[in-house]
Structure 1
Amino acid sequence: MSLAEEGFPTGAVVVVGSLNVDLVTSVARHPSPGETVLGSDLVRLRGGKGANQALAARRAGAGVTMVGRVGDDGDGEAYRSALAEAGVDVTFLQTTPGVPTGTALIVVDPTGENAIVVAAGANARLEADDVRSARAALEGADVVLVQLEIGDEAVRAVAEVAATTGTRLVLNASPVRDLPRSLLAQADPVVVNEHEAQAFGLSGADDGVCVTLGGRGATWGGTTVPAPRVAAVDTTGAGDAFAGALASALAAGAGREDALRAAVAAGAEATTWSGAQPV
């Protein structure tokens, strides 16, 4: 049950990030380097950390605006329609001529663990000016949520606009790459998994850092919430569900523990279906 369903007020979230088509296959085990293994039939699903998080925030009750880029292909048009049907504002979702919509290649083993390779496509064309053009949306938002499947200039622009509009910045620092310490310090919080936290030298004991712990829940500034037991099918998108639900809860004014509780529940639920987004 979301905080909105429990009677908490709802807030406004802007998500700046990626939109991908996920190509998913299941294997008996992940291959070693140079090894070929046989997979199941290929399944096409919608994904991308930005869109996953936008839909998760919307499911959690927030009003959501998506800022990003898709290609001028059928996948891009289908994605735009799907987001709009889910209640996500796509006013600032741009179409990039002559470039395909982003694609992720995902391999899932019997335990639900996945390995992912992303071909950025239109996501790599998201520019700082695209973010600045959405300034009015950020000014009206309680939280802006951004991840790292888009370019450095766009990420920096999110931080700059958020700083001038006073919008709370939540940064999902994934996938790992070099970031200015000032950006990490501005985020409230930085959301990372255990491996990412180690790479950045961050700790869930830090006040501005939220670390997801997989099946053990999550911790933020010394507050830890355990995860409920679920029958996991596929962990793809669980971290995105967590981040989107966390942003929604914070936008609604929830405190740290309530926000963590809502996010952990959303992340656990997301492991019970195949793919990053429920169908």
Structure 2
Amino acid sequence: MTAIAVLGSTNMDLVAYVPRAPGRGETVTGREFRTVPGGKGANQAVAAARAGGDVVMIGAVGTDEYGSRLRTNLEHAGVDTDLLHTVAGPSGTAHIVVDDEGANAIVVIPGANGTVTALGPGEKAAVAAAGILLLQLELPMAAVTEAARTARAHGVRTILTPSPVQLLPSGLLDAVDLLIPNEHEAAALTGYEEPHAAAQILLRQVPEVMITLGRKGCLYAARDTEPVHFAAPEVTAVDTTGAGDTFVGTLAVALGEGRSVAEAVAWASSAAALCVQKPGASTSMPRRSEIDAA
């Protein structure tokens, strides 16, 4: 079983479903509201655990009702939460609007996630013992960078999802093995909207890049090899929230099992396709048996 450490956020997703997203200064009537456990870190942890990974979650939740629900959701998925600390104050929240085409817009309030500024001995040991470390950018950059550098020092493969997109310090990039931005994040990081061009810029900073393209699949590029485009399964999306995290978490499990990039992407793409056909983020993530059967 693949050992995966996830340093990242845990948020309660407050999701409003609407025919179309409101414009600036506009009010629209929604048809449904849900509270769903989420956060990019927790989502990737749940996806990896359901796909068969041995996952430990490193982060923080608050002392509010959301905190206990977030922890329970991770534990039910099979994630080790011994390093998910409880701190005074509110948990993180994500305020999400999902339209009838399944597209979403998100505002994240860090809450307890903002207190994770450094790694203690237990966190460092968990990272060092893992086969793969998953990182995102919903925690303070200092902790993300420290985790990546700890992983590099112990030969642990590090996969970074640069979301929410922001300037990436060289101290972090120097310790990243695989960068997985979506096409908008790749454009923001490089100034190039064309994925192939963006990938070439990013390869100057990290050895491997995988740019996710939504319905168009993904583009994989590594140094000294030709880029490869992988198509995505054609499905009708109900809610794309969590699809990218499902892809990354499942991909990590497949790579940790020694599958080729092509095999891992195909498996992860199947998982993401199953995810978008159901509402919610972590609640829609498939289990290993469902992915294998897709």
- Normalising to structure 1: TM-score of the pair? 0.91
Q: Is the 8 A contact 1:218 1:264 kept in 2?
A: no
User: Cα deviation per residue 1:183-225 (whole Å; 9 max; x = unaligned)?
Assistant: 2343221000001011111734545111001001112111222
Q: 1-side partners of 2:139 and 2:242: how far apart? A: 17
Deviates more, 1:78-87 or 1:165-174: 78-87
Helix, strand or coil at the partner of 1:133: helix
1:162 corresponds to which residue? 151
User: Cα deviation per residue 1:61-118 (whole Å; 9 max; x = unaligned)?
Assistant: 1100000100012211122122122211111000011x11111111011100001001
Q: 2-side partners of 1:209 and 1:246: how far apart? A: 13
Mind listing any 5+ residue stretches in structure 2 that lack a counterpart?
191-196, 222-226, 285-294
Q: 2-side partners of 1:204 and 1:55: how far apart? A: 28
2:216 corresponds to which residue? 216
1:113 corresponds to which residue? 103
The code of the aligned residue for 1:150 comes to L
Q: 1-side partners of 2:76 and 2:20: how far apart? A: 37
The answer to whether the aligner puts 1:262 opposite 2:267 as a matched pair is yes
If asked which structure has higher relative contact order (CA below 8 Å, sep 6+), I would say 1
Helix, strand or coil at the partner of 1:134: helix
Helix, strand or coil at the partner of 1:232: coil
Q: 2-side partners of 1:182 and 1:226: how far apart? A: 33
Helix, strand or coil at the partner of 1:240: helix
The code of the aligned residue for 2:64 comes to D
Tell me how far 1:234 sits from its aligned partner: 0.3
The code of the aligned residue for 1:27 comes to V
Helix, strand or coil at the partner of 1:179: coil
The answer to whether the aligner puts 1:197 opposite 2:202 as a matched pair is no
Q: Is the 8 A contact 2:12 2:92 kept in 1?
A: yes
Q: 2-side partners of 1:139 and 1:190: how far apart? A: 20
User: Cα deviation per residue 1:18-44 (whole Å; 9 max; x = unaligned)?
Assistant: 011111111121111111112123211
Q: 1:272 aligns with which of 277, 285, 290?
A: 277
Q: Is the 8 A contact 2:210 2:219 kept in 1?
A: yes
Tell me how far 1:11 sits from its aligned partner: 1.0
Counting aligned pairs with the same residue, the percent is 45
Q: 2-side partners of 1:128 and 1:179: how far apart? A: 17
Q: 1:64 aligns with which of 34, 38, 55?
A: 55
Tell me how far 1:182 sits from its aligned partner: 4.6
Q: Is the 8 A contact 1:62 1:252 kept in 2?
A: no
Helix, strand or coil at the partner of 2:5: strand
Q: 2:38 aligns with which of 39, 47, 67?
A: 47
Alignment of 1:1-279 (within 5 A): 10-97=1-88, 99-130=89-120, 132-201=121-190, 203-204=198-199, 206=203, 207-221=207-221, 222-278=227-283
Q: 2-side partners of 1:193 and 1:256: how far apart? A: 17
Q: 2-side partners of 1:77 and 1:23: how far apart? A: 16
The code of the aligned residue for 2:141 comes to D
